[in-house]
Amino acid sequence: MTPNMGILDRGLRVFVVAPVAIVVALLLGAGTVAGVILFVVAGIMLATAVTAFCPTYTVVGISTRPRGLHRVGHGLRHGHA
């Protein structure tokens, strides 16, 4: 499971998408089908943000994770490791 999500993508999922899905689920009713689906969506958004891995990105072949920095010795430098 190689991380394929950048910081902006992860932040949007945690601080925008998941909270909005939870609020809308509560407004629609937590026990309704739509409410349950939105809670599941919020959970998926939080799980993918925490792990920095999105399976859909793998299927589509994209990554929002920057590739410019590699660990070399004790610090980060541009280029290849």
Digits of tens for pLDDT over the chain (81 positions)?
889 999 999 999 999 999 999 999 999 999 999 999 999 999 999 999 999 999 999 999 999 998 754 444 454 455 554
Residue 72 lies in a domain: no
Residue 67 lies in a domain: no
Residue 71 lies in a domain: no
Residue 66 lies in a domain: no
* Nearest C-alpha neighbor of 45 from the set 22, 29, 24, 62: 22
Residue 28 lies in a domain: yes
**Model pLDDT, residue 72:** 42
Q: How many domains does the chain have?
A: 1
The whole domain housing 29 covers 1-58
**Model pLDDT, residue 78:** 54
**Model pLDDT, residue 69:** 46
Residue 64 lies in a domain: no
Residue 32 lies in a domain: yes
Residue 65 lies in a domain: no
